Structure formats: structure tokens, C-alpha cells
A and B are shown apart, each in its own frame.
Chain A
Amino acid sequence: MIAVENLVCAFGDTVALDEISVTIEDGSFVVLTGPNGSGKTTLVRHFNGLLEPDSGSVTVDGHDVVAEPVAVRTSVGMVFQQPRDQFVASTVAADVAFGPENLGLDHDEIDRRVRRALDAVNLAEQRDARIDSLSGGEQARLAIAGALAMEPAYLVLDEPFASLDEPARRSVLDRLCDLHERETGVIVVTHDLRGVLAPADRLLGMADGEIVVDTPAQEASRALEDLDVYLPPASEW
């Protein structure tokens, strides 16, 4: 469980997160939405200790994000908005292996994790390909594989559909649904709600550094009325 208590984060005079408290249960599929600048990315970057709280606390399965960053980052995989920012190698398998190598695992275990992660995102056949040669959708899936190779309990994706065309978007969504079925917690940060509400269990809405909506995803239409977020017609949920 990810537990956030009275979390405050400020950049200079700007308060990005204002005493936020929220818990995210194991294996749940959570959509975090809100307008630009509402604090979504800042909040999820606390989930794996990339940002440290100014006050309050964040724990993941009982591990404090400040005191035990490696344990937390192993539990919470992070996929950034621009997949290219996340790549640290030139070929697919080498990039996926990067995280497990940093954990000091043996070669057999690293190989097993790379195979599993690439299978999970349907990129096994491109194992030896150069990352530059992949399409945008494939790069988005590779970024997910890089996080999955850490075998996290939760996967956080920051705007995973940005700049993806519809087939690529569908492909990434399908992979997320597969992961959710295998009981990986999925947290999707997005202001584009097409296709993510149906598989989601819970919807969190943020505005001005606060969580102002916390509801089952199926009740999104009522809950999001006052939030400046485009809600697609129910047929596109």
C-alpha cells in the first residue's frame, strides 16, 4: 500500500502539494487526473522518492521513501512522460536490463526479468533492435518494460499516451490492463481520459495541489463536473 500523509511540497513560494493524504491499495488501477499545473506529476514523483516531502510522509509497503529509497524504487516503477528521457542504452534488451543490473542480480535472473518484461509488452522479437528504430508506441512500451524489469508492485505512468496515435495508445492500454489482471498496481497520470476509465477502479482528481475528487472511476461523469478536465463520452471510457 502507498500511504501519503499530510504531504506538503513547495517550489519557492509556489505550493505544489498542500497537505495531501491518500492511500493506494495493492493491485488497484488508479487514474490521477487534473489540469496542467495541478500537482499530478509532483505527487507521483514522491511515490518512489524522486522528490522528498517538505513535510508529511510517504511510505510504500511500510518503507519510508526518504529513508529507504532503493526498497521504494524497487516497489514503485516509474514511466516518464517522454519515453526517450528514460532510455539509458542503445538497444532494447540492454535498456531493460539496466534496472536489474543496478540491483546487483545475477546474470540468469537479469536475463529472466528482461525476457518477462519484453514478453509483457510484446517486444520480445525486437530484443536486439536499436531503440532509435522503434516507433513511438514501441518506445512507450519499452519504457514500461524498463520499469517492469524491476518487478514492481506498482507501476506509475506519467502521461503515457502523450503523442501516441490511436493504435499505439490502444496497445499501451492493453498492456496496462494485462498487468492489472496480474495484480500489479497501476497508477496512470493523465488529463486524457479516453479508454482508461473502464479498466480503472478509482479516479483521483487534483486541482491547485489538492485532491478534490476521489471516487470510483465509474462515477467520473458526476465527480469531474467542476474539474477543468475533458471527460469523453461514456462510449470512449
Chain B
Amino acid sequence: MLTYQPGTTAVHRLDPRSKLLFQGGFAVAVFAHDSLAVLAGLTTIALAPLWVASLSPLRLLRGFRFILLLLVIAPPIAAVSFGPSWFVVERALDSAVASYRVVVMLFVAGTYVYTTPVRETRAAIQRHVPGRAGQLLGVGVGLVFRLTPVLVADLGRIRDALDARGGESLSTVARVRRLALVGLRRAFDRASRLSLALRARCFAWNPTLPELSFSRLDVPVLVLSVGLALSAFL
């Protein structure tokens, strides 16, 4: 699964607020334009940070493989029609373009996850979303990033343990049911132990957060982000 990787690339050194703003501007642009030429241009813009951050697009896509699977099967499902002309190609094409938009967005989001420590994300959120809402959101984001890779790894281990004892001979439904049940139990167990660890280390809703500061490196990213957002009105 794609997680933060320490590094010193230009993308790593950007202020997380610039990266969040870029994601926002990019999302507005990619969903506002229909032209394939513009989408191709936006794809180039999305791939550039990956290259700077030394992150292989294939590795990124592998990290999002379950989402990709949904995106791939969406167009044929969208094209199915109950009645004469059972398969409407235009609908499949529309859905394919929508899926492609999400894939391009995943490039940007994945680069963010790969280059930004969770505590910086939390700091960025809590600095700009005031009060309890910001604290809840910041802690929520932190916990999701902390627990998700652990739970995904747990599911892999449960699957291996099932297979090691003949689990492959079970029907798909029985296997998935067993995997889900044990996975859920393990998830609650993990959450309980994490909660204990947080208490032992004096968990606080409003801790000292990392200092954030914009540098000259952020200026072109901020300008590009605003430009992308404004391009929606052109």
C-alpha cells in the first residue's frame, strides 16, 4: 500500500498546504473540462510531481489497485441497458472519461500521500479548520493513515493463514466471509490496542504540531493551483 516515504525531493520539501491547495485546484480543473486535449495536458501536469518525487506511476497504481478495478469495470456496467440496444457505447465512453479523471486525480493524491508526513497534514488541517472540527478532522486523518496500512497487511496475513490450511478449497463466498469476519475482529483488536498506546503516551487533541512555513519553492505551485481552479471558468 502507498504510504509516506521520507525524502528530500522538491515535492517532499513543499509546504503541505501548497500540496493540498494544488490537489483542490487540480480536482476543479480535471472535473470541469471535457476536452480530451485539456485532459491530456492535465495528465502531464499530474505526472510531473511523480517524476520529481521519484515515484513510479506503476507503483502508485499498484497501491490503488482495488480502486482501479472498480474504475475499469465501471464503463462496461454503465453501458449495459435493459432493453433494445443492450449495450450503449456512448455511455461506456462517458463513464470511461469519468474513470480516467479519477485515475489522474489518484496520481496527484498518491504523490501527496507519498511525500507528506501525516503529522504535517494534521498540522495543516488544524491550522486552517478552527476549533473542535479541525481537531477531529486532523486526528481522523492521522488515524486513517496509521491504521489503514496495518489493516491491509493484516488482511494479507489472514488470507495466507487461510490458504496455508487449505482455505483455497473453500468457495469464494465462504472464503470472503471468513476473511471479512476475522479481518473485522482483528481491526477492532488493533483499534483497541492503538487506543491503549495513545493513552499511555498522553494523547492530546491539541498537541504541539510541526511548524509549517512557505518557501520560494511553494510560489509556483500556489500560482499553478489558483490558475487550475480559475481555468474552470474559461
Contact = CB atoms under 8 A, between A and B. Distances in A.
B204 A102 contact: yes
Interface residues of A, number: 35
B146 A73 contact: no
Given A85-B194, A86-B197, A94-B117, A74 B6 contact: no
Contacts of B202: 70, 73-74, 99, 102-103, 150
Interface in B149-163: 150
Nearest to B193: A85
A29 interface: no
A107 B213 CA distance: 14
Interface string A95-136: 001111111111100100000000000000000111000000
A101 B211 CA distance: 12
Given A94-B117, A102-B203, A150-B202, A88 B146 contact: yes
A38 B150 CA distance: 30
A82 B189 CA distance: 13
Contacts of B194: 85, 88
Contacts of A154: none
Interface in B117-152: 117-119, 142, 145-146, 150
Given A89-B146, A102-B201, A129 B209 contact: no
Contacts, number: 86
B4 interface: yes
Contacts of A57: none
Interface string A183-221: 000000000000000000000000000000000000000
B180 interface: no
A50 B196 contact: yes
Nearest to A79: B200
Nearest to A81: B193
A101 B209 contact: yes
A91 interface: yes
A6 interface: no
Given A89-B118, A90-B3, A90-B117, A104 B200 contact: no
A105 to B, nearest CB: 6
A150 B202 CA distance: 9
B198 to A, nearest CB: 7
A226 B179 CA distance: 44
B199 interface: yes
A78 interface: yes
Interface string B30-48: 0000000000000000000
Interface residues of B, number: 28
A197 B148 CA distance: 40
Nearest to A149: B201
B200 A78 contact: yes
Given A85-B194, A90-B117, A99 B201 contact: yes
B54 interface: no
A5 B206 CA distance: 34
A150 B201 contact: yes
A89 B198 CA distance: 11
Contacts of A59: none
A98 B4 contact: no
B146 A100 contact: no
A102 B146 contact: no
A88 B6 CA distance: 16
Contacts of B200: 48, 50, 73, 78, 80, 86, 147
A146 interface: yes
A84 B117 CA distance: 18
B56 interface: no
A19 B199 CA distance: 25
A129 B208 contact: no
Given A84-B150, A130-B6, A147-B201, 19 more contacts: A48-B200, A50-B196, A70-B202, A80-B196, A82-B193, A85-B190, A85-B193, A86-B197, A89-B117, A89-B118, A90-B145, A91-B117, A98-B201, A99-B202, A100-B208, A101-B208, A101-B209, A129-B6, A150-B201
**3 cross-chain pairs, A with B, having the tightest CB-CB distances, nearest first:** A101-B207, A102-B204, A85-B193
Interface of A: 48, 50, 70, 73-74, 78, 80, 82, 84-91, 94, 97-107, 110, 128-130, 146-147, 150
